[in-house]
Amino acid sequence: MTNLPPTKVLYVRNIPESVQDSELIQYCSPFGRVTSTLILKEKGHGFIEFDTIESASAACSYFNHSPLVLHGFHIEFTFSQRQEITPRKDPDANPPNRIILLTVTNIMYPVTVDVLSQVFSKYGGMEKVIIFNRGNAIQALVQLRDIATASTCRVQLDGQNIYAGCNSLKVQYSSLPELEVKQNNERMFDFTMPSSMMMHNLHSASTTTTGNGSSSRNMYYYGGSLSPMGDAAYLGSFVGTTGTPSPKAFGADYLSTSSHGGAPVLLIENLDESLTIPEHLAALFAVYGNVVRIKMMKRSESALVQMHDLDQCHIAIEYLNGVMLHGRSISVKLSKGGSIPPPSKIQEEGETGNSVKEFSGYPLLYARHKPDKPQRLFLPSTTLHLSNMPDDTTEDEVLSVLLINGADVEYLRFLDDQHHIAIVVCSSTENALLTLVSCHAQLCGMIQPRPLRVGFGHAGASDMIGSMIDHASAGFMVGGTAYYDSTMIASSGNDDQAVVADVAPGFEHLATH
């Protein structure tokens, strides 16, 4: 664990959504009086405040030596940088301000800078905007030109819907005096920047297109809909209008669940039966959707994979059809049959020869895609993104998991100070895919091991790394391969990244993962 000075507040990680606040209080109370808690279940972390530093120290010391396991998860404790848990202020009590807090609920369609730009265009536009997740809602801080404009927006937009019957708005005043936007992308934007810089950032944030005008496959996934970044032309229904925009308006070339019908089940063919197990397929398809269960079809070199919905099935087909798994190019298409019965149902009916495995009970590993949390999706490439590692994981600990599972590693780099997240580049896309299916959910770490989450990263990272290796000095060697200490490579964001240690006090609402 990171050595932080003792305080009355403990930072708690790896909390499953099923755990209640009262359960944590029950286990912490023997060490002293618990005065306050702040548990962010959707982010898997939180804070517990004791009445004295001695009580907090006793609890932290005990649980680090005798880990607390709740609902199958090892709960991790360390000291927080906070001195106390400060209750959140009620935004309704804030005085009028030109910065407003927008809360979007009942979300059916994406909430992006482009969407909000069109919402606020009739009020003179936004100066700055920052979008972030809060539980099952999406919130945005919007800076307008003056208090009068903000007051008008609050009166006219509060309680309205962006689209007919969904994406409902609640508008309140923020207490912030000024918004600071660090970079321009689809989740935050500073419109006060010089036009040349703004156009550059708009171009960088938009989805690339192919020669025939079709969108590339690096897209964001929003709870059942695909939306290319930066597409400002998809809004068909705004406040005061009727008619719900069709999925086609989002630039996504796919069949919706309602139009296609049938069960969300994929047929995977041309598998190597001697090497492929259900966990391999679950790891691979969990990158692009939520896996419910898998049925291995014996003696037919095929398997059925049931996803959460048909939209996720189409995404998986787009990204995985034809990839090489265990030396074979697999075929991925929609199954013509129905849903896969649960394992218990198959046993009751006496079916033999085929095996079914349930994966719906492992949300952190096989159901990472949530309606309110956009997931950046990348094509299979040599670049992998690793997350959910314990505090202070070492390079040797990561490499021990990778190398024993056949990874041919060319580069490894941690992306945060506490070593929860890393980027890995393999020698080939096929080797990266093999590494992903073999290492996902494997325990990593010596003291308090945690299951690895593995997904694909940005393919361009390998080119950046190759350029750096050409000009760098070798840092360390593993199995005859040189590893280099170069500048940080950007995280792919294709998975629910582990929360990076202790969130800075006052900024918890901006921690989106």
What does the pLDDT average to over 365-369? 88
Residue 243 pLDDT: 34
Q: Are 431 and 408 in contact (CB under 8 A)?
A: yes
Full 3-state SS string of 249-305: HHCCCCCCHHHHCCCCEEEEECCCCCCCCHHHHHHHHCCCCCEEEEEEECCCCEEEE
Q: Are 451 and 362 in contact (CB under 8 A)?
A: no
Average model confidence (pLDDT) for the chain? 76
Inform me whether the pLDDT recorded for 38 exceeds 50: yes
Residue 246 pLDDT: 31
Burial class (CB in 10 A: 0-12, 13-18, 19+), 384: buried
- Measure Cα distances from 407 to 322, 404, 432, 436, 445 in Å: 21, 7, 7, 9, 18
Structure tokens at 315: 């995404």
DSSP string, 347-376: HHHT--S-EEEE-TT-HHHH---BTTB-EE
Q: Are 158 and 170 in contact (CB under 8 A)?
A: yes
Helices and strands (H and E) in the chain: how many: 13, 29
Inform me whether the pLDDT recorded for 67 exceeds 70: yes
Domains and CATH numbers, the chain: 9-79 (3.30.70.330), 91-205 (3.30.70.330), 258-366 (3.30.70.330), 376-484 (3.30.70.330)
Residue 354 pLDDT: 61
Inform me whether the pLDDT recorded for 221 exceeds 70: no
Report the greatest alpha carbon distance in the chain.
71
Model confidence pLDDT, tens digit, residues 333-343: 999 888 898 88
Task: Give the span between the Cα atoms of 463 and 38, in whole angstroms.
Answer: 42
Reference 75, options 143, 27, 34; nearest CA is: 27
What does the pLDDT average to over 12-22? 87
Reference 17, options 71, 67, 60; nearest CA is: 71
Model confidence pLDDT, tens digit, residues 95-127: 899 999 999 998 888 888 888 988 998 888 899
Task: Give the span between the Cα atoms of 278 and 404, in whole angstroms.
Answer: 20
Model confidence pLDDT, tens digit, residues 428-481: 999 999 999 999 999 998 878 889 999 998 776 545 554 444 443 333 333 333
The phi and psi torsions of 89 (rounded to 5 degrees) equal: -75, 150
- Measure Cα distances from 252 to 47, 106, 215, 287, 315 in Å: 40, 21, 8, 19, 10
Q: Which residue has the higher pLDDT, 197 or 87?
A: 87
What does the pLDDT average to over 316-325? 93
Q: Are 384 and 456 in contact (CB under 8 A)?
A: yes
Going through 87-153 in order, the beta strands assigned E by DSSP cover: 99-105, 128-134, 137-143
Task: Give the span between the Cα atoms of 56 and 44, in whole angstroms.
Answer: 20
Name, in order, each residue with C-beta under 8 angstroms of 153's C-beta and a sequence gap of 6 or more: 100, 120, 123, 142, 144, 171
Could you tell me the pLDDT band of residue 372, with boundaries at 50, 70 and 90? Answer: low
Task: Give the span between the Cα atoms of 231 and 233, in whole angstroms.
Answer: 6
Task: Give the span between the Cα atoms of 101 and 237, in whole angstroms.
Answer: 22
Task: Give the span between the Cα atoms of 318 and 334, in whole angstroms.
Answer: 11
What does the pLDDT average to over 142-162? 91
Could you tell me the pLDDT band of residue 3, with boundaries at 50, 70 and 90? Answer: low
Inform me whether the pLDDT recorded for 34 exceeds 50: yes
Q: Which residue has the higher pLDDT, 133 or 197?
A: 133
Q: Are 357 and 294 in contact (CB under 8 A)?
A: yes
